[in-house]
Amino acid sequence: MKQSKICYSQLSKSEKEKIIRSMYLDDKKSFADIAKEYGTYSNKIRRDAVSFQIPIRDKSDAQKNALKSGKHQHPTKGKERSLEEKNKIGKGVLKSWDELDAKSLQERKNKSKEAWEKMDEESKKNMVKLANDAVRLTSKVGSKLEKFIFDSLLQDGYKAEFHKEQSLLNTKLQIDLFLPSMNTAIEIDGPSHFLPVWGEDALAKNISYDQKKQGLILGKGLVLIRIKQTKDFSKTRSQLIYAKLKVVIEDIQKSFPQPDNRTFVIED
């Protein structure tokens, strides 16, 4: 153990407090670092820090400091994970979220709400603006889930059209994804299609539009597959949705549905 010129036990209480505050708070040293320099043990430094009412860093902050100082290496930095490993991690994260009990889920919602309420008005306005811009952009170029499913369909050899404008009974409407060889339309419905994300009036308009669009699609003799996206985009969740979609598509290929059974709904 490296010894300093002055042993920790020989220091006065005020000297100990000054050293810990300076090295721990200002220099971001760990208790182990301080103990090593002053010839004592990290638990002794920690106990004194508590007695001096010095705020103790949590495990996350301690790890960040260790990585920043170069004492520890990031466990995954510079390491390329295989697709199988990424999928396994992603499914684990999804499972942990899906298994959250109502109390834990509410606690997370409360934390998010508290974080929002602590923001200044300018930050809130900027976030709302970014959200609105993202919605407008999505309406033009498609959502992440739409693009993921479109790319997956192409990779699997399906002929698919993206945001194809269709003439449905003399009305021109855009279908999210269209499989021409199968006469099948795929619509991706985000939360604003079934939740009052932008208010009750906007929701009512979206529902009315979707019902009209569905009637026109079915009226043209097409099959309609609606994908109900209730959660934020993630690659792992999208893979699970696409797996469900493929089952439906394969069933349609085997036997084209009768007129009264041409609507399918897939939920994430």
CATH code assigned at 220: 3.40.960.10
Choose the most confident range, by mean pLDDT, from 25-29, 136-140, 184-188: 184-188
The verdict on 34 and 92 lying in the same domain is no
Spatial separation of the C-alpha atoms in residues 206 and 211, rounded to whole Å: 9
The b/e string for 201-230 (b: 16+ C-beta within 10 A; e otherwise) is eebeebeeeeeebeebbbeeebbbbbbbbe
Using the predicted structure, report yes or no on whether residue 227 has a pLDDT greater than 50.
yes
Spatial separation of the C-alpha atoms in residues 257 and 188, rounded to whole Å: 20
Position 264 confidence tier, pLDDT thresholds 50, 70, 90: very high
What is the SS3 string spanning 169-230? Answer: CCEEEEEEEEEHHHCEEEEEECHHHCCCCCCHHHHHHHHHHHHHHHHHHHHCCCEEEEEECC
Domain that holds residue 133: 83-140
92-101, 116-125, 157-166, 206-215: segment of lowest average pLDDT: 92-101
Q: Give the global pTM.
A: 0.53
Among candidate residues 37, 69, 101, the one where a domain is terminated? 69
Which helix (H) or strand (E) segment holds residue 117: the answer is helix 102-118
The verdict on 180 and 238 lying in the same domain is yes
The verdict on 36 and 113 lying in the same domain is no
Q: What is the pLDDT of residue 151?
A: 92
Position 123 in a domain: yes
The verdict on 91 and 205 lying in the same domain is no
Mean pLDDT of 97-115: 73
Using the predicted structure, report yes or no on whether residue 132 has a pLDDT greater than 70.
no
Using the predicted structure, report yes or no on whether residue 61 has a pLDDT greater than 50.
yes
Position 1 in a domain: no
Position 14 in a domain: yes
Position 189 in a domain: yes
Mean pLDDT of 160-166: 82
Position 74 in a domain: no
The verdict on 158 and 250 lying in the same domain is yes
Position 77 in a domain: no
Mean pLDDT of 253-264: 94
Cα 75 to Cα 32, 70, 86, distances in angstroms: 21, 12, 15
Position 201 in a domain: yes
Position 58 in a domain: yes
The verdict on 218 and 176 lying in the same domain is yes
Mean pLDDT of 33-47: 88
The verdict on 154 and 164 lying in the same domain is yes
The verdict on 214 and 152 lying in the same domain is yes
Mean pLDDT of 69-97: 61
Spatial separation of the C-alpha atoms in residues 177 and 148, rounded to whole Å: 11
